[in-house]
Structure 1
Amino acid sequence: MLKKIIRTLKKRLNISRQAGRKYDDIDPEDIFIDATNLPGFDEYRFEGRIERPMGQGVFLIMKIALVLVILGLVSKLWVLGIIQGSIYAQISENNSLEQTLLFANRGVIYDREMRELATNAIKEDGSNFADRLYSPSQGLAHVVGYIKYPLSDRAGIYYEENYHGRDGVERAYDALLNGINGTKLREIDVSGKVISEAVLKKPVDGNPLVLSLDSRLTEVLYESMESLAEDRGFVGGAAVIMDTRTGEIIALSSYPSYDPNVLTNGTDRNAISEMINSPSKPFLNRAIGGLYTPGSILKPVVALAALNENLISPSKQILSTGSITVENPYDPEKPSVFKDWKAHGWTDMRKALAVSSDTYFYSIGGGLGDQKGLGITVLERYFKLFAMTEKTGIDLLGEVEGVVPNPEWKKEKFDGEIWRLGDTYITSIGQYGTLVTPINAARSTALIANRGQLLKPSLIKGGSNDPVLRVVDFKPEDWSVIHEGMRDAVTYGTSVGLNVPYVKVAAKTGTAEVGSFKLYVHSWSVGFFPFESPKYAWAVVMEKGPSANTLGATSVVRRLFDWMAVNSPEYFE
């Protein structure tokens, strides 16, 4: 029976007879396993058992399960990407990295003694940039100016990323004062909460600016002009003090003025509207943009012109009887009469400057009797030589050119009328169509004080590297005559109100009639100090006050000098 089984196995396994013979001596128990496992096998771990392949049903179930998983994922993607895509896109935007500006602080503006004129407030919570704060000192607004803040839309996105200067040195030196903004990266979650932030680029603050201005002197000048205007009915005023060596502007003020804090904040609409519509024009910088008839402050220039042209000796005397009469070639019975403001008697050049004799300057300007005059062409040339009408180039917005009348000007303004001798007379005393700015008056006075150097005005401490624009070369003795005449004006003449014990000054007044009926005047004072070695020149004008008024620009200068004697005596040294 056993042999029969073996043969059957060989046949199924295709074992050759030879192979069979080779293994005839193998015991069948070495090949077949008994019904029970051999000792040492664990049947619960499938040891000693024959493995069987999985059936087709198992694979079918797995395929179905895999298809269902894929269909579930695709459907979820459809819901997230198509149906709810906009919702999750918005969430994604909110939960994102946001780049924001770090605003640089604007540079601080100081006066010459390092007093802050414009600075930055400490940033408050919720504020992206620092507020600009201006000194409460009066009279500084037209020089310092104001700014416009960075602007953003309703979403908080800035379309104007920098401060912008709107007036004064804030505008002129905008690029210097503006810093370089930085950037910050913020991580924000879905609820808008800032999770983290990091500075990508640090902001660089703007550069400081040190002005030549002394804010205390400027404020005293402003308050003096304000007080006189309110007491005596002047419309406005302007004042300039210039260093006669460097061209530095020590004080520059215009009355009335505006509040730079109100304009910068821009929230008080009523106050801003009131300033804009005010008839007193507080935005007009009268020191550089106001044109005024100069009156007698031009007489030193006329005197120098006559000396340089060798028309008169400074010691020659001309009689002032209170007026001069000129024949009318068209109607001899109606001669032209040109009045002096009073009869001065016999006056030489020094006295004529001291008492401001109109008759003397009629004579050397237009000619009278045996005295030859300069004539309008020469007068115009000297006015321009002394830069009475040209722009100074100061770094402020709104400077205007002056006017010197001439035959062409009259022909244009008065419907073709010809120039007459009387026009030259009136121009010789600074009337008629002559117009100058206070800063030009101060600069021409500085030119007289320093004996011929025309300076470039500067608002920066230290002035320009090369402040001398040109030199007016006259004889030293001619300059001395003018200095002495202006000093005499202080000791006994029209500027006697400035004859103070603490400093010697030289000065010249001017009273320019305004309007057809001559009911109003512009009151001027120009001069320099100390007399022996001039360092500073000034020009002050009070605008359109009653002609009967006895107080004018000289009182403004006197009040300033009294204050300086106590608080800043170093200017007199």
Structure 2
Amino acid sequence: MVFQKLKKTKRRGGEISPDEIFLDDINLPKFDKSQLEGRIERPLGSGSALALGAFFVLALFVFGGRLWQIQITEGEQYAERSRDNTLKTTPLFAERGGITDRNREPLAWNTPDPEHQEFLARSYTARAGSAHVIGFLKYPTKDSSGFYFRNDFNGIAGAEREYNEVLSGENGVRTIELDVRGSPISESLIKPPKRGNDLLLSVDARLSEALYGFLMERIRAAPFEGGAAAIMDVSNGEIIALTSAPEYVPQVLSDGTDSRRINGFVSDQQKPFLDRSAAGLYAPGSVVKPLLAAAALEENIISPEKKILSTGSISIPNPYDPTRTSVFNDWKAHGWVDMRDALAVSSDVYFYEIGGGFEDQKGLGIALIEKYFRLFGLGEELADPLLGQAYGTIPSPAWKKISFPDDPWRVGDTYNTSIGQYGMLTTPLQMLRAIGAIANGGNLLEPSLIAGETASARRVPVSEEHLRVAREGMRRAVTWGTASGLYLPFVSIAAKTGTAEIGIAKKRVHSWVVGFFPSTAPRYAFVALLEKGPSANTIGGVYVMRQFFEWLYATAPEYLK
């Protein structure tokens, strides 16, 4: 009955069967008692409990210690490693602005390059003559792991350097998610790149190339060590042509792969990295005479019509031995010359006398000479850092006291400074600027390489009447004087030559010519210099400019109108 009653008793989910409660008595004799068969449970011995407890305690210490090491001691390291392994932040390189000449002919631009997957490579014009104007750059640099430790384009020279901020733009940023194998899963743009601005230069690359070619022809033939030439708009200071010879090749230096050619530029004795137009300092010789003539007229030292006799030299008592005389030679005997003719024939005696005085002819004296040379911009850097890379030197008693402390200033020093010799040094661009002020009526402009830029200017305190005399003398130099090689039927040119003797033996000379055109209503001023040629050479700056004007007439006559 009990069995039946129990059998009828129900539990949740079904009935309870008796064999779920009681052992199977029928099978009891068959159980292997040594294997504990037939036992409902086996009690745990005290030894086993201790061993199990010790195991759990040891495991707790091991895993707890390791967890402490990972989270506390090495936590930041692993966190950083985790971030590095999952997210990479990389720069998106901004496209660099292009550089063009005044006619929008490309001088520097960007092109795809298989060697530079992440950014565009720089390409440069194949035209010669503009290397120092354009310059070159270095690319962003990465290490062996692909990390860019320098992520900008670095302008090294020329406009690439001086206008680097204008050209550069702003790099963007992106993140790349990587899996455990380092393969990209996805990427996100955080900041888009901003393209750099284009640069429109004032130069005409055709003109610079032509000047460069004519310079190099004379440099090789004479030979000279180098040269420079430039043309400036006298109304606004824009540089229309600018070149320095010899030059480097921007593409070779930016690519940086041709070590043989790069080493050749570095070791070249003709210094192709020197921008002779802006950084080269040279004795100007007679090209300063128009400035001195204007100064003498302004200070009422002499009238333009008064004539001075040049017999080939003047002599004054020797400061070291009064019984002897010091002789200051002219390059030839010119006879009686007034100011215009003195400029035309480049009479040294005439300018010795109006500079330092002689007998009854009063001279400016070194203080006024220095004053007017500085008023015309000599001895100072040009404002544009690409064009103004040197100050130059105007000799003076203060300068000599520093340079030659045991030798006082003498009248002979004034004579030599009056003709652009002694310790006087200028850059070709300084002389171009000064002659531009003669041409345009006394506005000393700041030369500029940027097209359309408003030039700053200051007035040279010399009257238009006196400047006109200097211009007329320079025109005579072309019609029948020392610059007669520039007497051409298709353009009226005014010019002044200069031959500066250098070295103790005076066996080497710098050959100069400066001027402007058209002579009656000047639009452009020019300068050409050939550096350190043989003194016997008679073919220099004038020859270069004659070839250039003939080329200009045939190729770009709009500049001659």
Under TM normalisation by the shorter chain, which class is it? 0.7 to 0.9
Q: Does residue 1:134 correspond to 2:128, yes or no?
A: no
For the structure 1 residues 481 and 190, does the alpha-carbon distance in structure 2 shift closer, same or farther, using more than 3 Å as the test? same
User: 2:442·2:464 contact (CA, 8 Å) conserved in 1?
Assistant: no
For the structure 1 residues 56 and 450, does the alpha-carbon distance in structure 2 shift closer, same or farther, using more than 3 Å as the test? farther
Deviation at 1:329, TM superposition (A): 6.0
Match of 1:442 in 2: 432
Match of 2:460 in 1: 472
Identity over aligned residues, as a percent?
49
2:275 to 260, 285, 303: 285
User: 1:395·1:459 contact (CA, 8 Å) conserved in 2?
Assistant: no
User: 1:100·1:185 contact (CA, 8 Å) conserved in 2?
Assistant: yes
Match of 1:335 in 2: 325
- What secondary structure does 1:290 align onto? coil
- What secondary structure does 1:286 align onto? coil
Distance in 2 between the 1:324 and 1:125 partners? 69
User: 1:94·1:192 contact (CA, 8 Å) conserved in 2?
Assistant: no
| More off after superposition, 561-570 vs 185-194 | 185-194
- What secondary structure does 2:119 align onto? coil
Give 2:456's aligned amino acid: P
Q: Does residue 1:455 correspond to 2:448, yes or no?
A: no
Match of 1:522 in 2: 510
Q: Deviations over 1:255-290 (max 9, x none)?
A: 111122222122223322232222211111111111
Match of 1:21 in 2: none
Q: Does residue 1:366 correspond to 2:356, yes or no?
A: yes
Q: After TM superposition, list the pairs within 5 Å mapping 1:255-270 onto structure 2.
A: 255-270=245-260
Structure 2: stretches of 5+ with no match in the other structure: 24-39, 43-51
User: Which TM-score applies when normalising by structure 2?
Assistant: 0.85
User: 1:242·1:250 contact (CA, 8 Å) conserved in 2?
Assistant: yes
Q: Does residue 1:494 correspond to 2:491, yes or no?
A: no
Higher Cα radius of gyration: 1
For the structure 1 residues 56 and 374, does the alpha-carbon distance in structure 2 shift closer, same or farther, using more than 3 Å as the test? farther
CA RMSD of aligned residues (A): 3.3
- What secondary structure does 2:278 align onto? helix
User: 2:387·2:429 contact (CA, 8 Å) conserved in 1?
Assistant: no
For the structure 1 residues 138 and 345, does the alpha-carbon distance in structure 2 shift closer, same or farther, using more than 3 Å as the test? same
Give 1:444's aligned amino acid: A
User: 2:381·2:388 contact (CA, 8 Å) conserved in 1?
Assistant: no
Distance in 2 between the 1:304 and 1:484 partners? 12
Deviation at 1:235, TM superposition (A): 0.4
Match of 1:110 in 2: 100
Q: Deviations over 1:140-161 (max 9, x none)?
A: 1211111111122222111111
Q: After TM superposition, list the pairs within 5 Å mapping 1:544-563 onto structure 2.
A: 544-563=532-551
Match of 2:240 in 1: 250
Q: Does residue 1:96 correspond to 2:96, yes or no?
A: no
For the structure 1 residues 290 and 60, does the alpha-carbon distance in structure 2 shift closer, same or farther, using more than 3 Å as the test? farther
User: 1:112·1:211 contact (CA, 8 Å) conserved in 2?
Assistant: yes
Deviation at 1:215, TM superposition (A): 1.0
Q: Does residue 1:356 correspond to 2:351, yes or no?
A: no
Match of 1:297 in 2: 287
Q: Deviations over 1:219-261 (max 9, x none)?
A: 1111111110000110011112111111111122111111222
Distance in 2 between the 1:239 and 1:54 partners? 116
For the structure 1 residues 473 and 94, does the alpha-carbon distance in structure 2 shift closer, same or farther, using more than 3 Å as the test? closer
Match of 1:309 in 2: 299
Distance in 2 between the 1:487 and 1:60 partners? 130
Q: Does residue 1:505 correspond to 2:493, yes or no?
A: yes
User: 1:457·1:463 contact (CA, 8 Å) conserved in 2?
Assistant: no
2:315 to 319, 325, 331: 325
Task: Report how many residues are paired.
Answer: 519
Deviation at 1:421, TM superposition (A): 1.6
- What secondary structure does 2:552 align onto? helix
Deviation at 1:514, TM superposition (A): 0.8
Q: Does residue 1:385 correspond to 2:375, yes or no?
A: yes
For the structure 1 residues 341 and 128, does the alpha-carbon distance in structure 2 shift closer, same or farther, using more than 3 Å as the test? same
For the structure 1 residues 329 and 136, does the alpha-carbon distance in structure 2 shift closer, same or farther, using more than 3 Å as the test? closer
Structure 1: stretches of 5+ with no match in the other structure: 10-31, 37-42, 62-66
Q: After TM superposition, list the pairs within 5 Å mapping 1:527-546 onto structure 2.
A: 527-546=515-534
Deviation at 1:474, TM superposition (A): 2.4
Match of 2:29 in 1: none
For the structure 1 residues 506 and 92, does the alpha-carbon distance in structure 2 shift closer, same or farther, using more than 3 Å as the test? same
Distance in 2 between the 1:386 and 1:546 partners? 30
Give 1:532's aligned amino acid: T
